């Protein structure tokens, strides 16, 4: 089973992999949101330091927007789009698999900043300018976050190119673009 998952180019299985992975990231982001809300339940700092709160805020925003909301669209696109247009598969099956693995390893790399001595990125999910310099964000957490977002973003771009190409070139005979 594991070998099949690692080597698959089946769009339906890749869609399920996107779905499961994005839901796992959703659960992690939800736990981060819960931790932040528990901290904000009473005035003052209760359980988290200001740095830890900023790290949770940054990673929560990153996970929910870039590692959940975007990939879940690819999950449903992989599951439904080829069937809707009458195609047996996507235009580039290996690129589809590569896109998923880039997304997964990018997400894991971005999240791995928690394992570094300085902690995860803490400059906000928009990488807010005053907080992203060496004084406010020391350590490798921000570097890992940027590398992970670059990998996940490349996977998203390649997946989008694959889906657009699939829609344009693999429609069933007689199916127009807006039909």
Q: Is the pLDDT of residue 30 over 80?
A: yes
Q: Spell out the long-range contacts of 5-14 with Cβ–Cβ below 8 A and sequence spacing 24 or more.
A: 8/97, 9/89, 9/93, 9/94, 9/96, 9/97, 10/89, 10/93, 11/78, 11/79, 11/82, 11/89, 11/90, 11/93, 11/96, 12/78, 12/79, 14/78, 14/96, 14/97, 14/100
Kindly tell me if the per-residue pLDDT of 159 is higher than 90: yes
Q: Which CATH number fits domain 2-169: 1.20.120, 3.30.420, 1.10.3470, 3.40.50?
A: 1.20.120
- Predicted local distance difference test score (pLDDT) of residue 136: 64
Average pLDDT, the chain: 92
- For residue 151 the two structure tokens come to 């990998």
User: Closest by alpha carbon to 153, among 66, 24, 32, 94?
Assistant: 66
pLDDT tens column, 101-147: 999 999 999 999 999 988 888 888 887 777 666 666 667 888 899 99
Would you list the domain boundaries of the chain? 2-169
Give the model's pLDDT for residue 135. 64
- 22-31, 75-84, 110-119: the lowest-pLDDT one: 110-119
According to the model, what pLDDT value does residue 141 have?
Answer: 86
- Could you tell me what percent of the chain has a pLDDT over 70? 95
Residue matched to tokens 């300085």: 118
Nearest to 36 by CA among 44, 48, 28: 48
**Cα-to-chain-centroid distance, residue 112:** 14
Measured distance CA(140)–CA(43) in Å, rounded:
31
* Res 59 pLDDT > 70: yes
Collapsing DSSP states into helix, strand and coil, what is residue 41? coil
pLDDT over 90 (residue 46): no
């Amino acid at each position: 089973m594991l070998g099949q998952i690692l080597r698959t180019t089946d769009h339906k299985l890749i869609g399920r992999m996107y779905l499961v992975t994005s839901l796992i990231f959703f659960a992690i982001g939800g736990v981060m949101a819960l931790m932040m809300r528990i901290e904000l339940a009473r005035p003052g700092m209760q359980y988290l330091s200001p740095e830890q709160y900023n790290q949770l805020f940054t990673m929560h925003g990153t996970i929910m927007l870039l590692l959940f909301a975007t990939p879940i669209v690819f999950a449903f696109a992989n599951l439904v789009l080829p069937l809707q247009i009458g195609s047996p598969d996507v235009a580039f099956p290996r690129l589809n698999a590569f896109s998923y693995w880039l997304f997964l390893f990018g997400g894991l790399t971005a999240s791995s900043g928690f394992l570094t001595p300085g902690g995860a990125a803490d400059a906000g999910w928009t990488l807010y300018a005053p907080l992203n310099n060496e004084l406010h964000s020391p350590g490798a957490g921000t570097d890992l976050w940027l590398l992970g977002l670059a990998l996940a973003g490349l996977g998203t771009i390649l997946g989008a190119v694959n889906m657009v190409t699939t829609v344009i070139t693999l429609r069933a005979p007689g199916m127009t673009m807006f039909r």
